[in-house]
Amino acid sequence: MTNICLIRHGETDWNSLGKIQGRTDIPLNSNGIRQAEQCRDYLKETSWDFIITSPLMRAKETAAIINESLNLPIVEMAEFIERSFGDAEGKTKEERQVLYPDMLYPNAEPYWELAERLKQGLADILQSYPQQKVLLVAHGAVIHTILRILSNEEITLDNTYLTNACISNIHYKDSKWAIKDYNIVTHLQV
């Protein structure tokens, strides 16, 4: 069985301001660093084979902090980079509602393209790292899309907000992916 623990990166200044980040490469803020440290402490007694991270700074920083107690190989996979939100990047929810009331953001990566990219990324993990236990540090839209696909549309943005540094677990068994749990935040302290 292949196990993947999906970890959303820690908070950034744009997260705290409610700005959509997309591919804009924003670092963790002090709260995000603390959240990554809490993930590290939560995971330090567990056993994993390696860490995969998005190539964006906020994910790589989160992965590096988590890895301080695990000392695992870290692999960057472009398939798990955040969705591009095009012209909406850097704008708050209120600004996006005014500028794009239909929520169609000019120059954004189409949802179907994101979904196909993530399906390919999961297939690549299965092929390259079969029967392994993987920590995958990625982004809100990436993890939401994976959970949405695997839950047959039951877990969506409308009913589930993924907290920064939350943990979700999926596994591949009997030729299919399944969700074990999602949006775990018990390790995060205010």
Residue 175 token pair: 């030729």
Residue 147 domain-assigned (yes or no): yes
Residue 75 domain-assigned (yes or no): yes
Whether the Cβ atoms of residue 135 and residue 64 lie closer than 8 Å to each other:
no
Residue 47 domain-assigned (yes or no): yes
Residue 155: the pLDDT is 84
Q: What is the pLDDT of residues 53-103, one digit of tens each?
A: 999 999 999 999 999 999 999 999 999 999 999 999 999 999 999 999 999
Residue 154 domain-assigned (yes or no): yes
Which of 79, 82, 89, 109 is labelled catalytic?
A: 82
Domain that holds residue 176: 2-184
Residue 189 domain-assigned (yes or no): no
Domains in the chain, number: 1
DSSP assignments along 33-80, one per residue = HHHHHHHHHHHTTS--SEEEE-SSHHHHHHHHHHTTTT---EEE-GGG
Residue 166 domain-assigned (yes or no): yes
Active site residue 187: no
Residue 178 domain-assigned (yes or no): yes
Residue 2 token pair: 């292949």
Q: What is the pLDDT of residues 7-53, one digit of tens each?
A: 999 999 999 999 999 999 999 999 999 999 999 999 999 999 999 99
- Phi, psi angle pair for 131, to nearest 5°: 60, 30
Residue 190 domain-assigned (yes or no): no
pTM, full prediction: 0.95
Residue 170 token pair: 């999926």
Q: What is the pLDDT of residues 97-122, one digit of tens each?
A: 999 999 999 999 999 999 999 999 99
Active site residue 144: no
Residue 104 token pair: 């169609």
Q: What is the pLDDT of residues 121-160, one digit of tens each?
A: 999 999 999 999 999 999 999 999 999 999 998 887 778 8
CATH code, domain carrying 146: 3.40.50.1240
